[in-house]
Amino acid sequence: MSAPLISLDRPNSYIGRSLPRPNAKRLLAGRGRYVSDLHLPRMLHAAFLRSPHAHAKIVSINTDAARAVEGVHLVATGPDLAKICTPWIGTLDHFKGMTSSPQLPLPLDRVVWSGQAVVAVVAESRAIAEDALELIEVNYEELPVVVDVDGAREVGSPLVNPGSANNVCFRSQLDNGAVDDAFAKASHVVEEEFSFGRHTAVTLEPRAIVADYDPAAGMLTVHHATQTPYQFQDLYSRHYGIPEARVRVIATDIGGSFGMKLHVYHEDMAVVGLSILLGRPVKYVADRIESFVSDIHARDHRVRARMALDARGGILAMDVVDLTAIGAFSTYPRTSVVEGNQVIRLIGAPYCFRNYRATLEVIFQNKVQTSQYRAVGHPIACAVTERLLDMAASKVGLDPFAIRAQNVIADDAYPHTSPTGYRFEALSHQACLKRLHEIMDYDSLRAEQADLRKRGVYRGIGIATFVEITNPSPAFYGVGGARISSQDGAIVSLTPSGEVRCLISVTEQGQGTESIIGQIVADQLGLAQERIKVITGDTEVTPHGGATWACRGAGIGGETALQSARALKRNILEIAALVLQEQPSALDIVDGEVVDASTRNQRMPISEIARIVYFRSDTLPPGTQAQLTVSHHFAPQGYPFAFTNGIQGCLLDVDVETGFVKLLKHFIVEDCGRVINPMLVDEQLRGGIVQGLGAALFEECRYSETGQLVNGSLADYLVPMPMEMPDIVIAHVETPTADTELGAKGVGEAGTAAASACVLNAVNDALAPLGATINSIPITPARVLKALKRF
Amino acid sequence: MKARAFSYFRAATIDQALDAHARAGDDARFIAGGQSLVPALSLRLQAPRLLIDITHIDELRGVRREGGYLRIGALTRHCEMLTEASIAESAPLLHVAAPFVAHPAIRNRGTIGGSVALADPASEFPAMTLALDAEIEIVGPSGRRRVKADDFFIDLFETALQPGELIAAIHVPLFRADQRFAFDELARRRGDYALVGCGIMATCQGSRIEDIRISFFSVGNTPTRVKGAERALIGARLDVERIAAAQRALECDLAPPEGDEVPPAMRLHLARVLLGRLLGRLGEGA
């Protein structure tokens, strides 16, 4: 009964169409409602005193003067909140042997990174709270600091967690055998040690929360700039002992999250406790300086990797060691080891080879926590694999395209299981490679490059193939014991006027989730999109679900919307059939009208069905109970993940005198399965690529030897800006997943996954005639000049 | 973060501003564009009792020719360096440097007087006053004086300004037909503080350099003239050997401090590269 999803020439065919986001105008007009915009009656403001030391014992805290400041309502330290909040531990069961210390909103006796919140002040205004902070005296006794990863691993190193045997959080090993044999018989071996700097998300809107505990109702309402309201409903309920049904988390408009806004932050947990202690709403908005020292950081890997190849350039084996440092704790509830785990499992993923060995070691240190951030682990795995492949290509004497064409998994060879155990349903590396070659006009670029070199211009061309993990099943977190849902739910209703409301558990952070859900519902019901209202992000209203992370909104949320809309359509047509004395199967809905399925002749508007059902049920046959509200859940089944793939290309110039890299153009061919809204998919790709380019050239959290972040401001921490960004050329290949009707996979992380690898390869391509190589990200002028021995 | 509470006074005249400063026992700051002061207040790096708003003092405004100089009022905003015809004509070095000063929103508010008074060693305009041989007109409790840019910048954020003194104007010698100039900087992103920046004013007789002033920024505690490099060029034609000699002289002229990301040797290298490029352009009549 449903029309094919791909036909665009029928009414209400919204799947596959570029449509503007309905909420864009509202946000552009300044009518967004962010947590910062909230002013609740009797609301107070929290500010936090932060540790100036990376590791120190708290000897004493004197808050008397702060308490005496007029307008101050509460000064709280670790023990005050520990009385009402149970500790949390950032481990998951499926990461065998991992450890992490219990965490509390504020520390009891020891600080473990510079910038950690130590004391909270709640006052009539943020300014008064900050006045009071200046009057608090904390007496610290400094402890030895663990900063760099080598120092942390030395025997006898100071310990981040006293009482533990060492600074290791987690170790993991993959080995499917015969790796040493493969290397022994290889014709070519390439090897490199790579380093990847720490960076951080830098969302336009910082973290923000208003907690509002009503002691009379025993009810906690939290307005929270988060991707995952249900996860926080569960956590606030369990750690503060409030029944789940009496905890409401509302995710308002959100100004970007990129994975940063789904972790438990000490300040956020503290603010909930402060509201409970005071029985009043308490607001906290991190300022930019605080964000740099308290938002999760990401990456920070050192990878030694080698690749064995046969004489023709066929990959035989890879052998990898990834060391990653994650700060003083593993983040809760998703841990800080998922990134490393994905690094070692995604290395080599696009290619056909058998023998793989990898070791992961995750280390504690006295820095802010790292955790999942856009394209978790992908950029590291991609850069390592793709750089080694380029090194191999030059050794064997193959063009970068040729060596990839030779080694990628063939498009007709699916299903395929990677050497690390990932199961791929269907990928399209060959089609993507071919398309990229075309859109780059690759041969012309190479000819131009050769010309320019004669004139002293060092142009670089780089490509990077990638695989992305999307649509995660419970295999991601659920199996590890985390109460993080991988299913989604929707409630779809026909309103009395014949419009549709869709309440759904996926959330919106600016990427257009609500738009595509509206498109899918309108498409499947046969209604104009303007007649669909999509509501997200309120645990009191929307059904429980996974929300938005790991590229699941379109694939899982979209399928939930599709199935819910089909169910509502069945119910509407059942009533229509009764009224029209037809079989439901003989009817369809087109543009809000019930029509004859075969002739398309209009029979009655669905608004008329709604009117009858809601106001004149007496005119329906006896015993009819119309169901114009449908609730429906969808949990992914089949493959544990829907893998996507693609390939990126990069064109740049290296100024070999200054070490500056100028990006000229970027290309991507991407396969995210069914494209629901091409414009939004392209925006995701562009945004993701820009974040990857930031990582490639600019972004790095730099620390001093004493564990102080030395560039924690937007003047010193460089994010990518429009003037330095190139045009981005986008093309698509569509391989829908057969696990869902919709066939959509995720796309949010694809751009970030390979952009930095692509730049790394292009810079090395540019420097090749000078005999210099780069193996570190970000690629700064200092690193380029060092490689060129210019100073 | 939020600034500590302060009082605010809007002065209508210079006398009112100076008087308010004296009465606050010098626990006061003048504010014009506020592009450096407001962030410092918000971060509580500065917490004066009184802010004296000088943006309504007419005498600090306006650009006019006066006795062989262009008098640029202290309140002249960075964006006006781009739009004011007399600046483009008579002080073109400031005109070409202006687009490199931060971003449009900052240029719309920031003033030349504020920039020179703060003397950020990474800022474009303070360094350009050195290249231009400009004079800084200062008013204060003890009257009015003019200080040559060469004598104005003393150390990191330290200038010839005494407590309670204000910059009234910058006086720039009028640009002449026998002069050439060049400006550029190496910044990671457009609008960032440069890793190294440089402005040059040269007086030429044909292709011979009669006089040259070369001023660097982002190379030390103050904007820095490189007199060794200047000496290597004065009286000579701009050829490859001379440019190389000037580049070599930077080794003695500059002593870049230890930086977190840019080691001194790298900064010196970048200064050499930038100087070579700018002198090359100057030789082409840029």
pLDDT of the residue at A10: 80
The two structure tokens encoding residue A539: 């645990």
Please judge whether A710 and B260 are an interchain contact, meaning their C-beta atoms are less than 8 angstroms apart: yes
Interface of A with B in 498-537 (CB under 8 A): none
Q: Closest approach of chain A CAs to the CA of B280, in angstroms?
A: 15
Would you give the DSSP letter of residue A745? -
Interval B162-202: pLDDT, tens: 999 999 999 999 999 999 999 999 999 999 999 999 999 99
H-helix or E-strand spanning residue A673: none
- The structure's pTM equals 0.96
Which residue of A125, A724, A782 is in closest CB contact with B261?
A782
pLDDT of the residue at B284: 83
Beta bridge partners of A49: A119
Interval A31-59: pLDDT, tens: 999 999 999 999 999 999 999 999 999 99
Q: Would you say domain A35-143+202-294 falls under CATH 3.90.1170.50?
A: yes
Beta bridge partners of A728: A666
Please judge whether B3 and A724 are an interchain contact, meaning their C-beta atoms are less than 8 angstroms apart: no
Please judge whether B189 and A721 are an interchain contact, meaning their C-beta atoms are less than 8 angstroms apart: yes
Beta bridge partners of A320: A305, A358
**High-pLDDT (> 90) share of chain A, %:** 96
Does residue A721 belong to the interface with chain B, where contact is any CB pair within 8 Å?
yes
Interval A562-576: pLDDT, tens: 999 999 999 999 999
pLDDT of the residue at B83: 97
For B5, name the nearest residue in chain A, comparing CA atoms only: A127
Distance CA A688, CA A403 (A): 26
Residues of chain A with CATH 3.30.365.10: 24-32+487-634, 379-471+643-787
Residue B262: its chain A contacts at CB < 8 A? 782
Q: Closest approach of chain B CAs to the CA of A449, in angstroms?
A: 24
Same fold, B7-53 and B59-173: no
3-state class (DSSP) for residue B97: helix
For B187, name the nearest residue in chain A, comparing CA atoms only: A660
Interval B91-130: pLDDT, tens: 999 999 999 999 999 999 999 999 999 999 999 999 999 9
Average pLDDT (A397-417) is 98
pLDDT of the residue at A640: 93
B contact set with A (CB within 8 A): 1-5, 43-44, 186, 188-193, 195, 260-263, 265-266, 268-270, 273
Distance CA B2, CA A109 (A): 29
Would you give the DSSP letter of residue A212? E
Please judge whether A698 and B189 are an interchain contact, meaning their C-beta atoms are less than 8 angstroms apart: yes
Q: How confident is the model at residue A5 (pLDDT cuts 50, 70, 90)?
A: low
Q: In a 10 Å sphere around its CB, with 0-12 CB exposed, 13-18 middle and 19+ buried, how is residue B158 labelled? A: exposed
- CB-facing half-sphere around the CA of B211: CA atoms within 13 A: 9
Beta bridge partners of A777: A196
Nearest to A669 by CA among A392, A444, A463: A463
Please judge whether B44 and A134 are an interchain contact, meaning their C-beta atoms are less than 8 angstroms apart: yes
Q: Would you say domain A379-471+643-787 falls under CATH 3.40.109.10?
A: no
Residue B193: its chain A contacts at CB < 8 A? 715
Q: How confident is the model at residue A6 (pLDDT cuts 50, 70, 90)?
A: low
Residue B188: its chain A contacts at CB < 8 A? 660, 698, 718, 781
Average pLDDT (A84-105) is 96
Please judge whether B263 and A289 are an interchain contact, meaning their C-beta atoms are less than 8 angstroms apart: no
CATH of B59-173 among 2.40.50.100, 2.60.120.1440, 3.30.43.10, 3.30.465.10: 3.30.465.10
pLDDT of the residue at A4: 59
Which residue of A660, A715, A791 is in closest CB contact with B269?
A791
Domain ranges of chain B: 7-53, 59-173, 179-283
Q: Closest approach of chain A CAs to the CA of B273, in angstroms?
A: 7
Residue B266: its chain A contacts at CB < 8 A? 781-782, 785, 791
Q: Which residues of chain B have pLDDT under 70?
A: 285-286
Q: Would you say domain A24-32+487-634 falls under CATH 3.30.365.10?
A: yes
> Residue-wise over A374-391: b if at least 16 C-beta within 10 A, else e?
bbbbbbbbbbbbbbbbbb
For B268, name the nearest residue in chain A, comparing CA atoms only: A791
Interval A388-405: pLDDT, tens: 999 999 999 999 999 999
Would you give the DSSP letter of residue A24? H
Residue B269: its chain A contacts at CB < 8 A? 785, 790-791
Name which of A19-28, A112-121, A605-614 the model is least confident about. A19-28
Which residue of B189, B191, B260 is in closest CB contact with A702?
B260
CATH class entry, domain B7-53: alpha beta
Which residue of A130, A289, A657 is in closest CB contact with B2?
A130
B179-283: what fold?
Enolase-like; domain 1 (3.30.390)
Strands (E), A167-280: 168-175, 188-200, 208-214, 219-224, 247-250
Backbone φ and ψ for A103, nearest 5 degrees, come out as -120, 150
Contact partners, residue A751, CB within 8 Å, separation at least 6: A648, A668, A684, A685, A686, A687, A688, A689, A690, A691, A692
Q: For an interface test with A, which of B266, B268, B272 has the most A Cβ atoms less than 10 Å from its Cβ?
A: B266
pLDDT of the residue at A9: 73
Res A3 pLDDT > 70 = no
For A131, name the nearest residue in chain B, comparing CA atoms only: B4
Which residue of B5, B189, B270 is in closest CB contact with A724?
B189
Q: What is the DSSP string of A545-559?
A: ---S-TT-IIIIIHH
Q: Closest approach of chain A CAs to the CA of B34, in angstroms?
A: 16
> Residue-wise over A510-542: b if at least 16 C-beta within 10 A, else e?
bbbbbbbbbbbbbbbbbbebebbbbebbbbeeb
Please judge whether A781 and B188 are an interchain contact, meaning their C-beta atoms are less than 8 angstroms apart: yes
Count Cβ atoms below 10 Å from residue B285 Cβ, excluding itself. 8
Average pLDDT (A462-473) is 96
Would you give the DSSP letter of residue A154? S
CB pairs under 8 A between A and B: 61
Q: For an interface test with A, which of B42, B100, B120, B189 has the most A Cβ atoms less than 10 Å from its Cβ?
A: B189
Distance CA A685, CA A746 (A): 11
